[in-house]
C-alpha cells in the first residue's frame, strides 16, 4: 500500500515509518518539523534500508496537501501530526485547536477530494479523562481534563461523524496509553525539545547525567506505593499496532473503530524509576514533589478488543522498555542534533529523498 504519514518525524511517527517500510509498503512522510527533527527520518531510512519521500509542510496547508496527494496518491493515511504538551495547551490553547482540530479538518477535506478514505488516527488515553474504573474499556465515557485532551476528543468525534456520514471511509482510532522505549537498535527514540515533560525521557536524562534528580509528583495517591499508575507500552509494539490497524481498514470498511493500545498493566512512578536504574546501572536520585495538576491516580487499559479484532498485543515489558530507552539515550545524549547530511527534502511538494542539512541547522 502507499501510506502517507503525517507527523512522521516525531517519536511514534518515526518508529511507525520503520515498521511500515519493513512490512513492504511505500511511505511518504510529511512533517512541519516544529516539534521534531528531520534526523529521525534519516535514521528511519537507514534502519529500513529503503528510501522514501519527505515533504516539509503543515497539515493546515491545503495547497501543499493537494500537491502531495496528487503526486503520491496514498491509499491510506496515518495521522500523527499534532501538538501534545498538556501544560502548554492550558497556557495557550489556540495553537492546539488550530494544529490539531483545524489541521485534521483540512486534512480530511483534502482526503475527501482525493481518493484516499482509509485513515488511522493517533489518539490517546487522555480521551478517558479521569476514569471511574480501571482497566479502561473502549466504551468507557469520554471526557477531557485539558485543552490538549479536548482536541483529541474533538478529532475523534469528527472522524466518527465522517465515517457515519459516508460508508466509503474506514477509520481506526488508536488510543495510546503511555508510549515509552525506543527502537532496539538505539538509532531512533524520543528526542524531546527542551525539558522533558514525560516521565521516561526525564528519567533517561537523569541516568545520563543531564539532570540531577527526578521529581516524583505526588506520593499520596490511592495506589500501592502512593505514586501514580500508568500503562507504559513499548513504542515498537505501538508502531506495529498501526500495521494491524492498516489491515483492519482494508477488511472492515465503512466504520470507525476505537482500540486501546496498552499492556493492561499499571506501573507506578517508583517502579519505573527502579526498573530504569536496573536497566542502566545508574542511580536515579528521587525527590518527592507536590502532585502535578491534572494527573489521575490510575490509568491502564483493557487491551482485549485490540487482541480480538486486530490480533495485536503488546509483547515487551517494562525491563525491555527501560533497556531500549537507555540504549537510545546513552548512544544519543543530544538526540538527533548531531545527525546532519542525509539527502533531499521537498519544501512543500513531493520529494524523493531527504535533505535535512538545511533544517538540522535551523532546528534548535
Contacts with ligand UFG by CB under 6 A lie at: 84, 124-126, 177-178, 197-199, 202, 214-217, 228, 230, 269, 292, 295, 299
CB of residue 23 to ligand UFG, shortest distance in Å: 26
Return the number of the residue (50 or 292) whose C-beta is nearest ligand UFG. 292
Q: Does residue 103 sit in helix, strand or coil?
A: helix
Candidates 11, 148, 221, 232; catalytic one: 148
CA torsion sign for 5, 18, 32, 329 is: positive
Phi, psi of 2 (to 5 degrees): -90, 120
Q: How far apart are CA 224 and CA 158, in angstroms?
A: 39
- Is position 148 annotated as part of the catalytic site? yes
Q: How far apart are CA 249 and CA 257, in angstroms?
A: 9
Return the number of the residue (59 or 299) whose C-beta is nearest ligand UFG. 299
CA geometry: angle at 195 spanning 184 and 192, to 5°? 35
Return the number of the residue (84 or 316) whose C-beta is nearest ligand UFG. 84
Q: How far apart are CA 35 and CA 14, in angstroms?
A: 13
Alpha carbon distance, N-terminus to C-terminus of the chain: 35
Q: How far apart are CA 54 and CA 351, in angstroms?
A: 5
Return the number of the residue (3 or 86) whose C-beta is nearest ligand UFG. 86
Within 8 A by CB and 6+ apart from 161, the residues are none
Query: What is the β-pairing status of strands 26-31 and 2-6?
Result: parallel
Return the number of the residue (97 or 217) whose C-beta is nearest ligand UFG. 217
CB of residue 53 to ligand UFG, shortest distance in Å: 29
Helix axes of 269-280 and 318-331: crossing angle, nearest 10 degrees: 60
CB of residue 293 to ligand UFG, shortest distance in Å: 10
In angstroms, the Cα distances linking 358 to 59, 65, 107 are 21, 22, 27
Within 8 A by CB and 6+ apart from 251, the residues are none
CB of residue 122 to ligand UFG, shortest distance in Å: 10
Return the number of the residue (72 or 177) whose C-beta is nearest ligand UFG. 177
CB of residue 238 to ligand UFG, shortest distance in Å: 12
CB of residue 244 to ligand UFG, shortest distance in Å: 20
Residues annotated as catalytic (active site), given as ranges: 148
Amino acid at each position: 500500500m502507499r501510506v502517507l504519514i503525517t507527523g512522521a518525524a516525531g517519536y511514534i511517527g518515526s518508529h511507525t515509518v520503520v515498521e511500515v517500510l519493513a512490512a513492504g509498503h511505500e511511505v511518504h512522510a510529511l512533517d512541519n518539523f516544529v516539534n521534531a527533527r528531520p534526523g529521525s527520518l534519516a535514521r528511519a531510512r537507514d534502519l529500513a534500508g529503503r528510501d522514501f519521500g519527505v515533504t516539509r509542510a503543515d497539515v493546515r496547508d491545503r495547497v501543499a496537501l493537494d500537491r502531495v496527494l496528487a503526486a503520491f496518491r496514498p491509499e491510506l493515511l496515518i495521522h500523527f501530526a499534532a501538538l501534545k504538551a498538556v501544560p502548554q495547551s492550558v497556557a495557550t490553547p489556540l495553537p492546539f485547536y488550530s494544529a490539531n482540530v483545524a489541521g485534521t479538518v483540512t486534512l480530511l477535506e483534502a482526503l475527501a477530494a482525493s481518493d484516499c478514505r482509509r485513515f488511522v488516527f493517533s489518539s490517546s488515553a487522555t480521551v478517558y479523562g479521569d476514569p471511574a474504573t480501571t482497566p479502561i474499556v473502549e466504551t468507557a465515557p469520554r471526557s477531557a481534563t485539558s485543552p490538549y485532551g479536548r482536541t483529541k476528543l474533538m478529532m475523534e468525534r469528527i472522524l466518527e461523524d465522517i465515517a457515519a456520514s459516508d460508508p466509503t471511509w474506514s477509520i481506526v482510532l488508536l488510543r495510546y496509553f503511555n508510549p515509552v522505549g525506543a527502537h532496539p537498535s538505539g538509532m531512533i527514540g524520543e528526542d524531546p525539545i527542551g525539558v522533558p515533560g514525560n516521565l521516561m525521557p526525564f528519567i533517561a536524562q537523569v541516568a545520563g547525567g543531564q539532570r540531577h534528580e527526578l521529581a516524583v509528583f505526588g506520593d499520596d495517591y490511592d495506589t500501592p506505593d502512593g505514586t501514580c499508575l500508568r500503562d507504559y507500552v513499548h513504542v515498537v509494539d505501538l508502531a506495529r499496532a498501526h500495521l494491524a490497524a492498516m489491515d483492519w481498514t482494508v477488511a472492515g470498511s465503512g466504520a470507525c473503530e476505537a482500540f486501546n493500545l496498552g499492556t493492561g498493566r499499571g506501573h507506578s512512578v517508583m517502579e519505573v524509576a527502579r526498573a530504569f536504574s536496573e536497566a542502566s546501572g545508574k542511580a536515579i536520585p528521587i525527590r518527592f514533589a507536590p502532585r502535578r495538576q491534572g494527573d489521575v491516580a490510575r490509568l491502564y487499559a483493557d487491551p482485549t478488543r485490540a487482541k480480538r479484532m486486530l490480533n495485536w498485543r503488546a509483547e515487551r515489558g517494562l525491563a525491555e522498555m527501560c533497556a531500549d530507552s537507555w540504549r537510545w539515550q546513552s548512544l544519543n545524549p543530544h538526540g538527533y542534533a548531531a545527525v546532519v547530511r542525509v539527502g533531499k527534502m521537498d519544501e512543500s511538494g513531493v520529494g524523493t529523498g531527504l535533505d535535512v542539512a538545511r533544517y538540522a541547522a535551523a532546528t534548535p
